[in-house]
Chain A
Amino acid sequence: MILTVTLNPTLDKFYWVDHLPLSLERVEEEIVIRALKSSTSAGGKGINVSIFLAAHGVDTVAMGFLAGHTGQIILRDLLSRDVTANFVWIEGESRTNVTILEQGKEYHPVRIHEEGPEVPHPAVDVFLRKYERMLARAGYVVLAGALPPGIPDDFYRTLVQSAKLRGVPTVLHTGGDPLVEAVQEGPYLVKPDVREELRFGDMPLRTEEEIIRAGRRAVECGVKACLISHHVTGDILITSDGVWELEAKVPLTTFKNLVGADDALVGGILVELTRGAALLDAVKYGMAAAVATAEVEEKLCLDKAAIERELDHVVIRPKGGG
């Protein structure tokens, strides 16, 4: 079973529009933008990974905090997708994240993210108890996404520590200070979330050299593998055995929605690892899943045949000096 932790789940709301006004500061009293279509689904990075895994027949349990009416919708959506849910209910309302995709500019979505409800201390204790119990049944743990208000920056570090004590490998998919903190405990795989900032702690991630330097520092902390986005269709994998460049040879014009691509990448890697694949093969499958996801309008591509087709477009090259 793969346990995913999403501390700040979201109801993802997507709107597809044919045109967005260049400016919202026109003299009209209001601007009406009619959506060509919309979709709603349970979200948050760990939840997306769970949805991907469940669609691939991998047993998965999603954990975190849910609140209010929005939390009920998130739970219902997860259960309908065969994801096992083990959430702690708190006061307030789970957040809703809105993404607006303009036709022809899907690579540049407009996103509105809510902060999410504050997590009270007693709820954190309940969560930790549940987490410890679930670790006994977990093959991997995925810690993913931003922290909600009320959760300290070193919380993922605590969760990595607990998993490590029980011999459960962790996959860390987050950014900012929570990432820097948790890396100190040597999780198995790290996929920094660089959507908001091209940094890994105090290290910039703009150039290939900077990415490799940051990855190597993570490996020095005991991380088995660090996978960092280099550009839209390329990642760099850094392990203690070497450095590899992954490239998807597909035109950017085929991309329709990039929002869930990183989560499909993590999900794809885990699908293959649970099948016993070697890390490089697993990362290749993950990359194919990310590309297939970017090529569909839905947040995640759950079509195995489409992912298999993308495998031919993914190239892995060892980098010199690795």
Chain B
Amino acid sequence: MKAHELMRRDLTAVDLDTPVTRVIYLMDQSGLTSLPVVDEEGRVVGIVSERDLIRAALPGYLDMLQSASFLPSVNQLARRLGEIAHEPIAKFMTREVVTVRPDDGDFHIADIMIRKGLKQIPVVDADGHLVGVVRRIDLLHRLKP
């Protein structure tokens, strides 16, 4: 099965200057755990995940410790989120985006997802324009017996 048969044809994406607070709102509304970031031409130039946002809101050392147990309280996280609420998402997104093409096969997509630990992958056309997203659940749903 090809990516264009598997993908969710949802072009929900954010711009480079979309503020963090809007990104959180969109993730909540769309049910997506990450959102592609597109440039003025609509080409995918980054991706922002829940993890990127949490990382942005946490002190750097916690990422190294891989634990939030050193945080005195969740208030610190809330305060930091408040500080970056209106910052452009370009500051926090992941710039090395893994994408697939509409004609890429399911095995290739599954392999990338497993190797790179991705929950979803944007599907782009030859010009880099977003045409859909393949989520892990899309693969599981289509491949179930």
Contact across chains for B31 and A72 when beta carbons are under 8 A apart: yes
With A129-B15, A136-B41 already in contact, the answer to whether A89 and B9 are too (CB < 8 A) is: no
Contact across chains for A84 and B11 when beta carbons are under 8 A apart: yes
**Interface window among B22-30, B69-77, B80-88:** B22-30
- Interfacial residues of chain A within 69-89, with CB under 8 A of chain B in the complex: 71-72, 75, 79, 82-87, 89
Which of A79, A133, A136, A137 meets B10, CB within 8 Å?
Answer: A79
| Alpha-carbon distance A79/B141, docked complex (angstroms) | 14
Which of B11, B29, B31 meets A86, CB within 8 Å?
Answer: B11
Q: Which residue in chain A gives the minimum CB-CB distance to B39?
A: A133
Contact across chains for A87 and B42 when beta carbons are under 8 A apart: no
Contact across chains for A84 and B12 when beta carbons are under 8 A apart: no
Q: Which residue in chain A gives the minimum CB-CB distance to B31?
A: A72
**Residues on the B chain within 8 Å of A79, using CB:** 8-10
Interface size on A, residues (CB 8 A): 19
Interface residue? A61 (CB, 8 A): yes
With A89-B25, A89-B30 already in contact, the answer to whether A75 and B41 are too (CB < 8 A) is: no
Contact across chains for A133 and B132 when beta carbons are under 8 A apart: no
- Interfacial residues of chain A within 59-112, with CB under 8 A of chain B in the complex: 61, 66, 71-72, 75, 79, 82-87, 89
Contact across chains for B131 and A84 when beta carbons are under 8 A apart: yes
Interface residue? B101 (CB, 8 A): no
Q: Which residue in chain B gives the minimum CB-CB distance to A137?
A: B129
Nearest 6 A/B pairs, CB to CB: A86-B11, A84-B9, A133-B42, A89-B29, A85-B10, A79-B9
Q: Which A residues have a C-beta under 8 Å from some C-beta of B?
A: 61, 66, 71-72, 75, 79, 82-87, 89, 126, 129, 133-134, 136-137
Q: Which B residues have a C-beta under 8 Å from some C-beta of A?
A: 8-12, 15, 25-26, 29-31, 38, 40-42, 129, 131-132
